[in-house]
Amino acid sequence: MQYLLLIYSNEAQIAALDQATTAALMNEYREFTQGIIKGGQFKAGDRLKPTSTATTVRVRNGKTVTTDGPFAETREQLGGYYLIEAKDLDEATAIAARIPGAKVGSIEVRPIWFPASP
């Protein structure tokens, strides 16, 4: 199965980290990514720019409405993701637990919706 691992964390807290800590964190992420590439579970993964750069689009009555945000009102914001291949939910959660962000934020594990095979 494929799972999307959504990494939520407090972006204000991440932004406030000093340079050395940030570098160490990036290093942990690199090591983790290399690990799941070697393990054959990695499909895709990226870090997102902060929510201050986000734009929300809605189509209502045929009209496209574009707004600023969403704003960082909740405690944690989506900051990145991995798309992985895993045997089952237990393997997916075990991989999610190895994401460096799991120690400070939280990881949402969502199975990918595949259409039924022909």
The Cα 54–Cα 40 span in angstroms is 32
Selected binder of other proteins within 89, 98, 103, 104 (CB under 8 A): 89
Task: Output the smallest distance, CB 64 to other proteins, in A.
Answer: 32
Is residue 31 part of the contact set for other proteins (CB under 8 A)? no
The Cα 47–Cα 80 span in angstroms is 4
The Cα 29–Cα 33 span in angstroms is 6
The Cα 113–Cα 77 span in angstroms is 23
> Among the candidate windows 14-22, 42-50, 53-61, 85-93, which touches other proteins by CB under 8 A?
85-93
Binding residues vs other proteins (CB under 8 A): 1, 3, 86-90, 92-94, 109, 111, 116-118
